[in-house]
Structure 1
Amino acid sequence: MDIRPATYAGSWYPDTAAECRRQIKAFLAEKTLTPPDREPCGAIVPHAGWIYSGGIACRALALLKGSQVPDTIVIYGHHLYPKSSPRILSEGSMATPLGMLAVDEALAAKLMDRFTFQAESVHHFAPDNTIELQLPFIRYLFGDVKIVPVGVPPDAMAVEIGRFTVQAARDLGLSVKVVGSTDLTHYGAHFGLSHYGLGEAAHRQVRANEDRRIIDRMLTLDPHRVLDEALSSQNACCAGAVAAALAAGLEMGTDTAMLTEYATSYDKSPGDSFVGYAGILF
């Protein structure tokens, strides 16, 4: 089977199985989170280097596992612009230090029949941290579950893709869970956004305003409001991934969401530029 190599292993996260397992066990031991009352069907997770947001992503995905390992996990991500072509890896598998994850080719084919994707292959692809950084967590927590990695633009197509994913899985008799990968506000001189000034006071303002607003939109389970907020306030770098995941969750019947954790890179490394991270379960 053709395998897409791991691009960020050894830099953004460990490149050995032993070190991945060690860090994942440490993330899971760091905090004990209360699971939701009902079986979750989706999660929103951050995708910075593991040193900054790995714990939040890992623990949200552990809660997503619940009591039912699905046939397939659909992972929405990619840094795209409105009206960009969506992307998909429709065959082969993706490497992780803990073992490969095979693409659910039947579900991917259904998506490709419905939408015009920029199809990637295991040999020709745009390196992408948004999806890759989740894969070792998924391999560790869910075993050899199949995946469908999908890049989604931040526009109305994201909602259509999310809904159709669930309908197509239902037609195939597959159980699915979904993951939307995004970081929150990228603030500071490094990112060209400094309307609150710099330093701790600016950090407090971003937490209370930009990040709080986008988190609240996610918790309302309204993908269109998430898109509008992110595009107007620049407070989610992959709003399309969030919108697709929320739309899929609604199609599966979810009616509630919970914030599992929130932090920023400033919390670990104070500086004039920082990024927000949230874990959300639904």
Structure 2
Amino acid sequence: MNARRSVFAGTWYPGNAAECEKEINNFLKAGEVRLTSDRTLSGGIVPHAGWYFSGSIACNVIHCLAEEEPPDVIVVFGMHLGPGSPCYIMTEGAWETPFGEIQIEKSLADELTQKFTFKIETAQRFTQDNTIELQLPFIKYFFEDVRIIPIGVPPAASSLEIGRAVAEISTRLGLQMKVIGSTDLTHYGLNYGFTPKGTGSGAIDWVRNENDRRIIDKMLAMDPLGVINEALKSQNACCAGAAATAIATAKHLGADRAESIAYASSYDKHPGDSFVGYVGIVF
């Protein structure tokens, strides 16, 4: 067995291809994304809650990337890591999805491991991680033959060097590439031990219009270090390293502008005193 199994299929998202496709079609109908220009996209930011809560946003970001010539490889940055955490990468094999396996882009992954220190994950030995896995059915559906590199990066300036190297190495190898950063936004409420504005409508408005807005503005400004610093200060992104490194990669691929396509929170689906914010961005 050289394929990493899907841990969250059948719970956080449907466990078979037919049900996944049905959900994807519903997400596309509900999303109705219209970008403000026809520029070539280098990547995007996606949320990673269960599909019921944030699948529509993630699906529509990845669909926007699929409107162009398919790339050879998609690098997906994710994982819930702290500033002192190591980096993670899977360098060979495949990752299982309901639509079939996605192969790892070995040549690019091998060069990255020669340049940086990673904890190497394999099909048999890995950290259970929703941040990357929940994107993979969308990627496989819209990019049938694409290869991936799943990478976990902490919210640290050193992670941005990995993003730059990903862009430089892929270009040198002649690989057409797109990049995705996976993060949710503010985790608010007693469930998350974060209640600076108490409870009720005031807290909901503060998260949506102030705390999440600050990190979104840093993302839209394509300011990777600003994303990391803002998240560490305000607790408004759970995987700021992934988002920031995706932005750094995209900038080195030539992206110079970002656009938000959707914002929502789990409160919209399940009102309560504990909730999480989500954003979809393309660049």
* TM-score bracket relative to the smaller structure: over 0.9
2:79 pairs with 1:66 = no
2:257 pairs with 1:242 = no
Where does residue 42 of structure 1 map in the other structure? 43
Shift of 1:31: 2.4
Tell me the distance in 2 between the aligned counterparts of 1:204 and 1:64. 31
Q: What secondary structure is seen at the aligned counterpart in 1 of 2:85?
A: coil
Mapping 1:120-269, distance limit 5 Å: 120-269=121-270
Q: What secondary structure is seen at the aligned counterpart in 2 of 1:213?
A: helix
Per-residue CA distance 1:71-117 (angstroms, 9 max, x = gap):
00000000011121100010000000111100000010011011000
Moved over 2 A (4+): none
Where does residue 105 of structure 2 map in the other structure? 104
2:33 pairs with 1:33 = yes
Tell me the distance in 2 between the aligned counterparts of 1:116 and 1:191. 31
Tell me the distance in 2 between the aligned counterparts of 1:13 and 1:199. 30
- Percent pairwise identity: 51
Give the aligned residue type for 1:107. L
Where does residue 4 of structure 2 map in the other structure? 4
Give the aligned residue type for 2:20. C
Shift of 1:253: 1.1
Shift of 1:161: 0.7
Tell me the distance in 2 between the aligned counterparts of 1:206 and 1:65. 31
CA contact (8 A) 2:183 2:243 kept: yes
CA contact (8 A) 1:71 1:176 kept: yes
CA contact (8 A) 1:88 1:117 kept: yes
Where does residue 20 of structure 2 map in the other structure? 20
| Structure 1 segments unaligned to the other structure (5+ residues) | none
Tell me the distance in 2 between the aligned counterparts of 1:240 and 1:65. 24
Q: How does the TM-score come out when normalised to structure 2?
A: 0.98
CA contact (8 A) 2:9 2:15 kept: yes
| Structure 2 segments unaligned to the other structure (5+ residues) | none
Tell me the distance in 1 between the aligned counterparts of 2:208 and 2:152. 27
CA contact (8 A) 1:40 1:66 kept: no
Shift of 1:162: 0.5
Tell me the distance in 2 between the aligned counterparts of 1:31 and 1:61. 12
What is the CA RMSD across the aligned residues, in angstroms? 0.8
Q: What secondary structure is seen at the aligned counterpart in 2 of 1:88?
A: strand
Q: What secondary structure is seen at the aligned counterpart in 2 of 1:157?
A: helix
CA contact (8 A) 1:39 1:66 kept: no
CA contact (8 A) 2:3 2:101 kept: yes
Tell me the distance in 1 between the aligned counterparts of 2:270 and 2:84. 35
